[in-house]
Structure 1
Amino acid sequence: MKSAVGNNVLADIIADKRGEIDALYRDVGAAAMADRAAAASAPRDFAGALAATAPAAVIGEIKKASPSKGLIRTDFDVTWLAERYAAGGAACLSVLTDCDYFQGRAAYLAEARHASGLPALRKDFMLDPIQIDESRALGADCILLIVATLTDAQLIDLAAHAEALGMAVLAEVHDRAELERVKRLPETTLVGVNNRDLTTFETTLTTSETLATAMPADRLTISESGIHNADDRRRLQRAGFGVFLVGESFMRQPDPATALEQLLAEPD
């Protein structure tokens, strides 16, 4: 597993990701990858699953490690984790597939999706259309677009490409300027606020609260990262969020299903 230091975390990841993209073009090719995407089974309704359980919808994340925290879970069993998320009431899954920095694997996505029966987001750094095709070929029902890593033209093109393949798009923002850029995307685009600063990897729920008032009323909005318990969930609900992506705090618990149930529980 590679490590990234200080303010170079995101830059290091993106530089390595471009190497992976070059390898996809060299080893598979755009036409062959598009054929694989076309041959994949139909995508599940990621946005619909969230809308059906909002304002208490949870995306359970399967995440083995991170650049800032190192190894998060030693007994990492993708099938068991996915099954437990489904049992605990998760609406959807998020699966880390980046290998170098998060110890993910592309195969984890299909494994988790099969075991849970839930729609799944491919959590990775999307920069190029061939990655969108690869995601659909792997079975992804939704892809992540990190606004900080993309130009406006890239955002529009990648979102359109994913939607043409039947996938949902989650556009992730960290500040007001990025949020304004996302408003140019189709109304079907999901908007996520990442409470983790991608340059320092520090988290604060204040990020979601600050951006809540600027959220477009016609979008399904998601608060991501730094969510640990029912108090955090209720705090974010008061700010207007109805979907919560939770990974590390669940991954550190003996049973993610129990932790998820506790996160959704209301006081007696």
Structure 2
Amino acid sequence: MKDILSEIIANKRCEVAFQKQTISLEQLQETLGDLTPTRSMKKALTHSESGIIAEFKRRSPSKGWIREEALPEVIVPAYATAGAAALSILTDEKFFGGSLRDIRTARPLVDLPIIRKEFIIDTYQLYQARLIGADAVLLIAAALSPEQCNELTAQAHALGMEVLLELHSSEELSYISKETDMIGINNRNLGSFHTDIENSFRLAELLPKESIWVSESGISSPETVIRLREAGFKGFLIGETFMRKHEPGEMLHQFIHSIENS
């Protein structure tokens, strides 16, 4: 079976190398200046009644275009109005149809935490995230060594951002450290892109109880969110379920209403 993650990471290395040639890391560092304080995604999930991290996502490597014409300035504020606890915005262009501009556009329009959803392999991408207004970043265990993950986590913290550490299997539990802000369980295998929501329930029994857990991918019903919450999850990252609808914000509103009345 084709390993999609390996293909994405190989492309990402080339992409970051090209970006560094255009604007060096030193130039990025010089432009940091006086940045506004970041918002805590961890606190937002802890205190939110919905716990939903609504995702802005145009396409998927396995399913193609979901909503090619989607505009962050329309959908992201609608998510915020509908009651999202936090926001996830894809910035990978080749495989997900996103860009750094999507976060830069959305940031002034909402006051919710925004996570840069990306395949981060280099410190350079952390500086990019901070400059465009991200409050948190995703680090994927399957794409990094434990040492790389620790280094990137420390640098993200130094820049004032939180980290959502994404795991998919019990073999990756060793990536968790006392510095981990949030633990994400991806129900989608990043090699094959096969989705199994039960993955969250299997791994929940092995996660540190004091951590903030986020279930990612494959969540399409309020009933699933209720089950996950009962299992100990505080966050629920949902994108495609909303993005396929004509009005993603309205769909999120109905989704939350269903949870509250179940």
2:237 matched residue in structure 1: 245
Cα distance in 2 between the residues matched to 1:108 and 1:74: 13
Cα distance in 1 between the residues matched to 2:31 and 2:208: 35
2:21 matched residue in structure 1: 26
Tell me whether 1:168 sits opposite 2:162 in the alignment: yes
C-alpha contact 1:83 1:116 (8 A) present in aligned 2: yes
Cα distance in 2 between the residues matched to 1:224 and 1:36: 33
Aligned mate of 1:92, from 86, 90, 98: 86
Cα distance in 2 between the residues matched to 1:91 and 1:61: 11
C-alpha contact 2:129 2:137 (8 A) present in aligned 1: yes
Cα distance in 2 between the residues matched to 1:82 and 1:104: 14
1:254 matched residue in structure 2: 246
Aligned mate of 2:173, from 176, 179, 182: 179
Cα distance in 2 between the residues matched to 1:20 and 1:39: 28
Aligned residues: 260
C-alpha contact 2:68 2:97 (8 A) present in aligned 1: no
- Two-structure CA RMSD over aligned residues (Å): 1.5
C-alpha contact 1:172 1:194 (8 A) present in aligned 2: yes
2:128 matched residue in structure 1: 134
Which aligned pairs between 1:105-254 and structure 2 lie closer than 5 A?
105-182=99-176, 184-187=177-180, 189-254=181-246
Secondary structure in structure 2 of the residue aligned to 1:37: coil
Report which stretch shifted further, 66-75 or 136-145: 66-75
C-alpha contact 2:149 2:175 (8 A) present in aligned 1: no
Alpha-carbon shift at residue 253 of structure 1 (Å):
1.4
The alignment-based identity, stated in percent, is 37
Amino acid at match of 2:255: L
Cα distance in 2 between the residues matched to 1:127 and 1:156: 12
Secondary structure in structure 1 of the residue aligned to 2:106: helix
Alpha-carbon shift at residue 185 of structure 1 (Å):
4.5
Aligned mate of 1:11, from 6, 11, 30: 6
Amino acid at match of 2:42: A
Alpha-carbon shift at residue 254 of structure 1 (Å):
1.9
Amino acid at match of 2:84: A
Report which stretch shifted further, 37-46 or 96-105: 37-46
C-alpha contact 2:123 2:152 (8 A) present in aligned 1: yes
Structure 1's unaligned 5+ residue stretches are 1-5
Cα distance in 2 between the residues matched to 1:129 and 1:39: 19
Secondary structure in structure 2 of the residue aligned to 1:222: strand
Mark the CA change 1:39 to 1:16 in structure 2 (over 3 Å): closer, same or farther: farther
Alpha-carbon shift at residue 39 of structure 1 (Å):
4.2
Deviations 1:41-85 (A, max 9, x none): 32222222121115x311100000011010001441211101110
Cα distance in 2 between the residues matched to 1:9 and 1:39: 39
